[in-house]
Amino acid sequence: MTSSTDLRSLFIPLTAADREQAERLARLQVTVEEATQVYRNALAVLATAQYLKMLDIDSDLEASYSFNPAVQLVADMADLYIPEVRRRIECRSVHPGEDSVYVPEEVWEDRLGFVIVQVKDDGTRADLLGFVPEVSVEQLSLSYLHPLDGLVDVIEDAPTLVTILSNWLRGKVSEAWRTLTEIAQPSANKWSPAFRHRSLPQNNELAQQIGRHYSERHRVSLEGEGLRQRIQQLYSEQSGSASEKAAHPLMAQIVRGEKEISESETIEALVHLVQNTLDVKIQIKAAELLWMLAPEHPATGAWRILDQGLKLEGYPLALMVAVLPRRDGRLLVLARTYSLESSYLPIGTTLSGLDEAGNDFFAVQSRRQDNYIQYYFVGDYKDSFSLQMSIGASKLAENFQL
Amino acid sequence: MLDILANSVSLSIPPNFMCLATIQNQLHELIEQFHTADRRQQRKLVTQILSLAQQSDEFWQGISIDAEPYAEAYQAVMISLPRQLSHFDPSKVTFVHWLNCLLVEETLARSPKIWRGGGNTDPAIYAEAKQIAMNEILNKFEQYNPQQGSVTNWFNFILKKRILDVTKDWGGKGGREVPFNEDYGEEHCTHQFEQLTSESDKIKIDLPKSSNITPDISLTRNLINRVRKWAEDKHSELRQCCLRDRSEVNCYTLILMRLPRLIERQGEFEFSDVPNWKMIATELNVPESTVRCHFKDKCIDHLKQAFPASSYA
């Protein structure tokens, strides 16, 4: 039997399209030396992406620093982003015949591993020589390389990520979680055909789904008298005394129908509702209305979609999570599941929340013609939970901390 | 690589023969394991299988002659390999031969130089002859000699011969019109193959000679200007993203420090050298690791969000 230690390198021929893609990136450099280095490293990244594709491990060039020309101007990075584990591997090129490889100190941290790729000078072939899990010298001897198949263990054993939702409110969001604006406005979201490893149809589908949902809601909610009525309704649905409700003079005027309200006053009214109501349903609805009017307004909280090509039983799904601060110092969380394939979720799609002990604290299931399923709840800072989407026996879970 | 393996076996056995046999046996063992392994193990095994197959002298590396169609074919075969492995039957053929057949089929399917029949060949005859030629080339692929030309040209040579065969065969039996004149015989085909072989050498000229890339300075300057303008527009936000108690060490300052600057020197414009992290750390009087971490954790993300890779499409 062949043990892992018998492994030699893995040869991958590079196509003209690979070279063109790398060259386009490299031309946006300042010197021939830098351009050549960027070119060779880009080929190393593409060869590694090709290898991962064989292993059915998705990679995302667009999310990789290595394929971002602006980043390449100010940093020397040759990373490949792996959405499955939301981590990066560094892919460094080496010339044939060299016995060590240059790995700049700026990429030593936060990498799942370092794949070393011998790139032929004419750019026609790459040989994946092996990998190392970590680097602490700038000139790494190739004798330290581990057999390539060990990279599988590194990726499979990558620690489960926990998304800290309170960080979102401070603007610290992992790139896997995309804003609704990014998703719902396809014009601001031009996917490059050059980035072949990106799941293009899913992103378009996601954009359509989210865009459709919001445009329908927008039409119903915001046209004509609709908006005033929605605000009046939200306001009157609040529990509490009339004096509490009328605490904001503008709100009182809107409720009594005394005033034509401008857009800025509408926003002000909604912000007041979002920030002051303790009714979770009203807070969510007001925040969603506010988002439609002013998506960047800080009072909307953070609304994000995990764009990871999640699939259950072959059905592509997206998970949306929103987090909003509350007047009582707690946090409101909204979880929502969309289908990416059609307007409706597959019947029986379940979205559930699990506490730290793994016990369900909610579970909602889709019926016929449900566009999405959702649940919202309030928690305290540092609370941990998981959101799980399931169809039949297939499950996908994401871990969170407030 | 083969020599290393050969050293470990008895010298009384021809080294290459033993080596190939060893590789074949190991490959068949690995493939057997693959069928019953879990996903993680399968991922490791398919890496080992492909890597080991490449060590065989029999493995076809058409990169220098069939170049582009081969590279595209190889990448396609590689991706489908884990699924295709279930179709491999070790009792019929060796793994390397089976893999070569996949590569040949995919390469020929992508090759723009496949002879299309010259415009006067009956499509039915062409299709029949093409199928026969494909089977023939796959069956005797071990006879292929890269010194004599590309696989595409070898295929074209065989294809033309089989078109003659099929034409004669069908013409005799079914009275179909013969599309070729009688002079187009074996000798002509051989001559044609030699011509094609010499043509195939010219294909190599299209390949890049070195990986030295010359930057497109106007594009680069445009990008630098855009980044600089963005940094100025967002300077208050970028300045707020700073080290605790060291507001002067912020993303605005660091991004601009790392951005190449166009300077005029003796009447000519050129980019200034960008200071390295040690120089920046000294100038800002902070530890190098601190400034580098801040740049990596904060500034890069600002930049990446402002200039998504898709905006360069």
Average pLDDT of the segment spanning A9-36: 94
- Going by pLDDT thresholds of 50, 70 and 90, the confidence category of residue A184 is low
Average pLDDT of the segment spanning A393-402: 85
User: Which 8-state DSSP code applies to residue A60?
Assistant: B
Between residues A131 and A205, the one the model is more confident about:
A131
Two structure tokens written together for B269: 């414009």
Beta A162-164 vs A394-401: how paired, if at all?
parallel
Could you tell me which chain A residue has the CA closest to the CA of B81? A54
Output the pLDDT for position A308.
63
Residue-range domains of chain A with CATH: 4-156 (no CATH), 162-195+300-401 (2.60.40), 220-297 (no CATH)
Q: Which helix (H) or strand (E) holds A365?
A: strand A360-365
Position A340 pLDDT exceeds 90: no
Rounded distance, CA A194 to CA B275, Å? 32
Output the pLDDT for position A392.
84
Could you tell me if B112 lies within 8 Å of chain A, comparing CB atoms?
no
Position B20 pLDDT exceeds 50: yes
- Going by pLDDT thresholds of 50, 70 and 90, the confidence category of residue A201 is very low
Rounded distance, CA A152 to CA A146, Å? 12
Rounded distance, CA B240 to CA A365, Å? 44
Position B2 pLDDT exceeds 60: no
Average pLDDT of the segment spanning A184-195: 37
Position A377 pLDDT exceeds 90: yes
Query: Which residue among A15, A149, A190 places its CB closest to the CB of B72?
Result: A15
Query: ∠ CA A289-A293-A294 to the nearest 5 degrees?
Result: 110
Two structure tokens written together for A113: 């591993």
Which SS3 state, helix, strand or coil, does residue A131 take?
strand
- Going by pLDDT thresholds of 50, 70 and 90, the confidence category of residue A245 is low
- Going by pLDDT thresholds of 50, 70 and 90, the confidence category of residue B194 is very low
Question: DSSP letter string over A190-210?
Answer: ---TT-TTS-HHHHHHHHHHH
Rounded distance, CA A143 to CA A251, Å? 72
Rounded distance, CA B282 to CA A147, Å? 40
Q: What share of chain A is helix, strand, coil (3-state, %, to 5)?
A: 35, 30, 35
Could you tell me if B304 lies within 8 Å of chain A, comparing CB atoms?
yes
Task: List CB contacts of A207: < 8 A, sequence separation 6 or more.
Answer: A183, A184, A185, A186, A189
Two structure tokens written together for A129: 């020589």
Position A4 pLDDT exceeds 70: no
Compute how many other C-beta atoms are within 10 angstroms of the C-beta atom of residue A288: 19
Distance from CA of A201 to the nearest CA of B (A): 15
- Going by pLDDT thresholds of 50, 70 and 90, the confidence category of residue B243 is confident
Q: For an interface test with B, give the residue of A124, A131, A145, A203 to mutate (most B CBs within 10 A).
A: A124
- Going by pLDDT thresholds of 50, 70 and 90, the confidence category of residue B136 is very high
Strand partners, A132: A114
**Which has the closest alpha carbon to A271: A305, A294, A254, A255?**
A294
Q: Are A17 and A41 in contact, with CB atoms under 8 Å apart?
A: no
Phi and psi torsions of A31, nearest 5°: -120, 160
Distance from CA of B156 to the nearest CA of A (A): 23
Which stretch of A69-83, A338-352, B183-197, B222-236 has the lowest confidence by average pLDDT? B183-197
Beta A177-179 vs A331-339: how paired, if at all?
unpaired
Rounded distance, CA B262 to CA B269, Å? 6
Average pLDDT of the segment spanning A266-283: 86
Rounded distance, CA B69 to CA B54, Å? 18
Which stretch of A35-39, A367-371, B201-205, B216-220 has the lowest confidence by average pLDDT? B201-205
Output the pLDDT for position A235.
74
Inter-chain CB proximity A30 and B220 less than 8 Å: yes
Which stretch of A144-153, B12-21, B289-298 has the lowest confidence by average pLDDT? B12-21
Residues of B in contact with A192 (CB under 8 A): 309-310, 312-313
What ipTM was reported for this prediction? 0.83
Residues A154-180 pLDDT 10s: 999 887 778 889 988 887 787 678 877
Inter-chain CB proximity A16 and B46 less than 8 Å: no
Position A305 pLDDT exceeds 80: yes
Average pLDDT of the segment spanning A338-362: 88
Average pLDDT of the segment spanning A116-133: 96
Position A398 pLDDT exceeds 70: yes
Q: Helices H, strands E: what count in chain A?
A: 12, 17
Two structure tokens written together for B299: 């500034």
Position B1 pLDDT exceeds 50: no
Position A243 pLDDT exceeds 70: no
Task: List CB contacts of A182: < 8 A, sequence separation 6 or more.
Answer: A188, A189
Query: ∠ CA A303-A308-A312 to the nearest 5 degrees?
Result: 110
Residues B264-289 pLDDT 10s: 777 777 788 889 999 999 999 999 98
- Going by pLDDT thresholds of 50, 70 and 90, the confidence category of residue A225 is low
Between residues B241 and A190, the one the model is more confident about:
B241
Output the pLDDT for position B181.
36
Looking at residue A1, its amino acid is M
Compute how many other C-beta atoms are within 10 angstroms of the C-beta atom of residue A304: 23
Residues 49-68, chain B: which have Cβ within 8 Å of A? 50-52, 54-55, 61, 63-64, 67-68
Output the pLDDT for position B193.
46
Could you state, in order of their start, the residue ranges of all structural domains in chain B? 1-112, 117-213, 217-312
- Going by pLDDT thresholds of 50, 70 and 90, the confidence category of residue A344 is confident
